[in-house]
Structure 1
Amino acid sequence: MTLAAETVGEPAVNIAIFGLFVVVTLVIVIRFSRSNRTATDFYAGGRAFSGRQNGIAISGDYLSAASFLGIAGAIALTGYDGFLYSIGFLVAWLVALLLVAELLRNTGRYTMADVLSFRLREGPVRTAAAISTLAVSLFYLLAQMAGAGGLVNLLLGVSGTWGQNLTIAVVGILMIVYVLVGGMKGTTWVQIIKAVLLVLGAALMTFWVLGKAGFNLSSLLGDAAATSPAGEAVLNPGVRYGASDTTKIDFVSLSMALVLGTAGLPHVLMRFYTVPTAIQARRSVAWAIGIIGCFYLFTLVLGYGAMYLVGADKINAAPGKANAAAPLLAFELGGTLLLGIIAAVAFATILAVVAGLTITASASFAHDVYNSVLKKGAAVAHQEVRVARITAVVIGVVAIVGGILAKDQNVAFLVALAFAVAASANLPTILYSLFWKRFNTRGALWSIYGGLISAVVLIVFSPVVSGKPGGASMIKDSSVDFHWFPLDNPGIVSIPLAFLLGWLGTVTSRERADEARQAEMEVRSLTGAGAERADAEPVSTESAAEPTPV
């Protein structure tokens, strides 16, 4: 590991840039923590962010290490098929804009469960939604933590098992500090800064790569194809997902998970509550689509640039393989300094995403399980926030332990599971709740638990976990093979199954929807009327005139 770090840069420079970023963001988090006076401040940033600010923050939340490192690497190795990831991630935002953003903002308060339980039996539905939220968030966290450990270990020259474990622990501790001190306000500003750095860094590398090709994209693509072992096939679909009928079906399954799962990701949905109105929620998504769209266009140039300037052999020989394509390209373009900057941007990306995931999971447990289910809504705001903070610490510790255990595993498995659960369990239930008047509690429970269980079971018994040749599965021993599901992603089965179970549970139940609550939800979701909330409840029992910071 030390040798690899020395090969791609100077650890001292990377440490200095990392340290500068951590200090700057901690100062920002502490600065904004002073204005955390209510539960709404801690959970939703006081709903004080504009559509533009929230759109940039959503971009920071959404563009994880998988987007920056993973997609560029996938394009560098497979060409056109790798770019299909970018298309799927971007198109997903149209689903969020058209079906989720405004309606969710009008109907909910802090979490996804607010919407799902609006007209159904609160206890079981909130519990199911919280379990789904925690499952998605935890597996997403494990992937980010493992990715953070691998990136920092590579670029800082950390070697040895204990050194790698310590790196993951430090990332987890920083994540916990950001959430505990800054809440949603501090986390949002970290995400805004990270999004700006990420887009600027990607733009700089993109124009640099195009400059080496005479600012001629066709020339770049031709040069990349000439250096690729696959030749001109990398300019057409089929290198990765056209080898067999199974891989073609697998691509359809993955596309379903990416496109539909995004609109069900809890940490993305929670961002819609940080704006004051539904109009701003729509503007948030519009800004996010623009920024994310530009970024994914940059990945096209970066991926083919890495294919041309770095080469598949060097990428495959590096630690992390495809994930090393962007850092190796940065080193090839600008040497140690550019590599250090891009490494810091990637580190910022991971920190912002894990902080957003942690605050989402902790808010879901405190608001949906502790207050709404265990305390029957009787807990005061400061008690709820205290539980959220304790939960954030617990989640952080679990993420650190899980990241350490998963540091040598295939983290793509964890990301795929997170998207599969979100697409299977969350989105069907949200759409049924918003648009189907007859939908009831049994339908919600069958949909959530059915989607969750089916997605997990199918992935556990898929080639992602065992059975792939060459030790490409999560279990590296190729002699261990217990898979019976042929696809890497279960979306093509688990998503329709979740919709079916939601319908079946509803039509077989004698429960009838509360017509008054249904009418109120419909009016509120479509018009925003009656959506004003008592958001200024202080988080302490002291006078609201002089609230104690959370």
Structure 2
Amino acid sequence: MTKETQTLIMFGIIVLITLGITFWASRRNKTTTEFYAAGRQISGVQNGIAVAGDYMSAASFLGIAGLIAFNGYDGFMYSVGWLVAYLTVLLLIAEPLRNTGKFTMADVLALRLRKKSVRTVAAISTLVVTLMYMLAQMIGAGSIVNLLIPAIDFTWAIVGVGVLMIIYVIFGGMLATTWVQIIKAVLLMGGAILLSIIVMAQFNFSFTQFFDAIFNVTGKYCADGSTLAAGATACANGAAPIVKHYTQPGLLYHGTYGSLDLISLGLALILGTAGLPHILMRFYTVPSAKAARTSVVWATILIGAFYIMTTFLGFGAATLLGKAHIGVQKGSEFVLNNNLAAPLLAEKVGGTIFLAFIAAVAFATILAVVAGLTIAGASAFAHDIWLNVVKSGREDEREQVVVAKVTAGVIGVLSIILAIALKNQNVAFLVGLAFAIAASANVPAIVLTLFWRRFNTTGMIAGMLVGLISSVVLIIISPSIMGAAAPFKLTNPGIVSIPLGFAAAIIGSLVTRDEADAETFSETNVRANVGLGAEV
């Protein structure tokens, strides 16, 4: 049986299971509460596993393993940032969010700041973050399918994932999405544990041998921040490249702005999780604030264990494969692709069957995450803009669900088009940018709404728009888009755009006074802390 056949069978099993779940869930998906929040019947443990499944995306499994394999210590900083981020969610966001919201992030803001403009701006921010995050998943899907089944073009692979994603959300809603995420989390943890064990077996289960092998892997870079051209032995200015071991910082973040770029990335990752719409939405599926806290604890345990294992995946690929062998053959040319580090490592240590299994797990990962993202984007438009802005809160549940399903289709098509256009980007890098936008636009508004009496509508709109626009503009004029000629020298805008978002929100609130917004703080504060009046 060929590799392609094995892979198709594995992929087919995953698709059939998830479509079966969608069919089952479609009969329990009539009201808005059922469509957006699975009827609030998901237990804390179940939701914790689903949150982990939603959070451990293609960026985690494919992107981080590739970044570590190519850049060592600097790549591992992604794992550290994403794990620490859940402390912010646990300590600041989970319980108040569950108590004050209904379906979306905008519900939290609108409870305190009761104006239509609040929902409009919050919904726009949600849609931008959702699309950026979704691009990474779609590109990861294209890389995986194209590697294992070359007959399926990269573009068609992305289209296929997009179509499946639309089916899950339109017919299954949040209930189907939740169970797809739970199954995916179990498969991903199982695959990562098995692959980690097999990697360590290559080193006789000796951490000393493993890290000795890592220390012998080196990388080269130029002091001015440029990289060596293919086949070059010297930097562009004629200087010899600097050699660093993979356990040392500086392979990815080096040169004049390297340290600032790493700090910027850390800020974006640590704060960004608290502003991700598809993660925040998961806390509305549980019946109580206590269950929301339980969700975060379980999610943190699973996510922490997984990110520890990325050490074995990334460094295992660096030592057992080597950077020069991580990629795909395109005719007579071998093209490097760091998104393929984990699947190729699986093939190296476990053969084609294990490769097919790991690839199927990655595929399930992508399906689960894009479904969560799509329902978050659809709810932002249907619930926040259509129902509360266009219809002024005059609820017609059937109409709102229909609008949400149509929106899901539109988001799916748009994400397919954008993913094809940006197909050469690293998935973890793209998700890092989504985190920066979320941290800059959403986090200031959420935190200040919950904890500052003086915060008002002007401050919220100013903070969210400044954070959103500044982060997007800085990404556009960064080296990620414009190369060496970029006027903004950092690849991640967080260190600039996050303070700008907070500053604009604070200044906007101080220069204007809205007594109505101040009066609702006490009500919001009581509900956030004790749950009085929370949706049940």
Q: 2:302 aligns with which of 286, 291, 298?
A: 291
What per-residue deviation string (whole Å, max 9, x for no partner) do you get for residues 402-448 of structure 1?
A: 22222245655642331111000000100000000110000000001
CA distance in 2, matches of 1:461, 1:227: 34
Q: Do the aligned residues in 2 keep the contact of 1:451 with 1:495 (CA within 8 Å)?
A: yes
Query: Could you state the TM-score of these two structures normalised by the residue count of structure 1?
Result: 0.90
CA distance in 1, matches of 2:219, 2:133: 33
Q: 1:389 aligns with which of 405, 416, 433?
A: 405
Other-structure match for 1:279: 290
What per-residue deviation string (whole Å, max 9, x for no partner) do you get for residues 63-94 of structure 1?
A: 11110011111111222221111010000000
- Equivalent positions of 1:395-414 (< 5 A) are 395-409=411-425, 414=430
Greater mean deviation of Cα atoms: 77-86 or 266-275? 77-86
CA distance in 2, matches of 1:47, 1:276: 5
Q: How far off its partner does 1:515 sit?
A: 4.7
Q: How far off its partner does 1:229 sit?
A: 4.7
Distance verdict in 2 for CA 1:79–1:326, change over 3 Å: same
Q: 1:146 aligns with which of 136, 139, 156?
A: 139
* One-letter amino acid matched to 2:182: I
Query: Could you state the TM-score of these two structures normalised by the residue count of structure 2?
Result: 0.92
What per-residue deviation string (whole Å, max 9, x for no partner) do you get for residues 207-242 of structure 1?
A: 11111211111211112322445687212333332x
* One-letter amino acid matched to 1:524: R
What per-residue deviation string (whole Å, max 9, x for no partner) do you get for residues 517-545 of structure 1?
A: 22111100011112135xxxxxxxxxxxx
Other-structure match for 1:166: 156
Other-structure match for 1:224: 214
Q: 1:28 aligns with which of 21, 26, 29?
A: 21
Q: 2:515 aligns with which of 490, 503, 512?
A: 512
Question: Is 1:58 equivalent to 2:51 in the alignment?
Answer: yes
CA distance in 1, matches of 2:13, 2:415: 25
Q: How far off its partner does 1:467 sit?
A: 2.1
Q: Do the aligned residues in 1 keep the contact of 2:219 with 2:246 (CA within 8 Å)?
A: no
CA distance in 2, matches of 1:145, 1:168: 6
Distance verdict in 2 for CA 1:425–1:364, change over 3 Å: same
Other-structure match for 1:182: 172
Question: Is 1:301 equivalent to 2:312 in the alignment?
Answer: yes
Q: Do the aligned residues in 1 keep the contact of 2:219 with 2:251 (CA within 8 Å)?
A: no
Q: Do the aligned residues in 1 keep the contact of 2:71 with 2:219 (CA within 8 Å)?
A: no
- Equivalent positions of 1:369-384 (< 5 A) are 369-384=385-400
* One-letter amino acid matched to 1:211: A
> Partner of 2:512: helix, strand, or coil?
coil
Q: Do the aligned residues in 2 keep the contact of 1:443 with 1:504 (CA within 8 Å)?
A: yes
Other-structure match for 1:546: none
Of all paired residues, the percent bearing the same amino acid is 53
Greater mean deviation of Cα atoms: 376-385 or 315-324? 315-324
> Partner of 1:484: helix, strand, or coil?
coil
Other-structure match for 2:272: 261
> Partner of 1:439: helix, strand, or coil?
coil
CA distance in 2, matches of 1:496, 1:353: 29
Other-structure match for 2:34: 41
> Partner of 1:382: helix, strand, or coil?
helix
Distance verdict in 2 for CA 1:199–1:218, change over 3 Å: same
Q: Do the aligned residues in 1 keep the contact of 2:455 with 2:518 (CA within 8 Å)?
A: no
CA distance in 2, matches of 1:239, 1:413: 15
* One-letter amino acid matched to 1:217: F
> Partner of 1:117: helix, strand, or coil?
helix
Question: Is 1:532 equivalent to 2:535 in the alignment?
Answer: yes
Other-structure match for 1:536: none
Question: Is 1:209 equivalent to 2:199 in the alignment?
Answer: yes
Q: 1:336 aligns with which of 340, 352, 355?
A: 352
CA distance in 2, matches of 1:246, 1:226: 27
Other-structure match for 2:127: 134
Distance verdict in 2 for CA 1:52–1:35, change over 3 Å: same
Q: Do the aligned residues in 2 keep the contact of 1:438 with 1:513 (CA within 8 Å)?
A: no
Q: How far off its partner does 1:149 sit?
A: 1.4
Other-structure match for 1:539: none
CA distance in 2, matches of 1:67, 1:410: 11
Other-structure match for 1:475: none
Spell out structure 1 runs of 4+ moving beyond 6 A: none
Q: 1:96 aligns with which of 84, 89, 94?
A: 89
Distance verdict in 2 for CA 1:522–1:229, change over 3 Å: closer
Q: Do the aligned residues in 1 keep the contact of 2:66 with 2:338 (CA within 8 Å)?
A: yes
Aligned residues: 509
What per-residue deviation string (whole Å, max 9, x for no partner) do you get for residues 131-173 of structure 1?
A: 00000001111221122112211111136xxx33222111111
What per-residue deviation string (whole Å, max 9, x for no partner) do you get for residues 351-390 of structure 1?
A: 1110000000001110000000110100311111111011
CA distance in 1, matches of 2:277, 2:513: 30
Other-structure match for 1:238: 250
Unaligned stretches of 5+ residues in structure 1: 1-5, 469-480, 534-550
CA distance in 1, matches of 2:245, 2:132: 34
Unaligned stretches of 5+ residues in structure 2: 221-242, 329-333
Q: Do the aligned residues in 2 keep the contact of 1:104 with 1:272 (CA within 8 Å)?
A: yes
Q: How far off its partner does 1:461 sit?
A: 0.6
Q: Do the aligned residues in 1 keep the contact of 2:219 with 2:245 (CA within 8 Å)?
A: no
CA distance in 2, matches of 1:295, 1:414: 20
Other-structure match for 1:192: 182
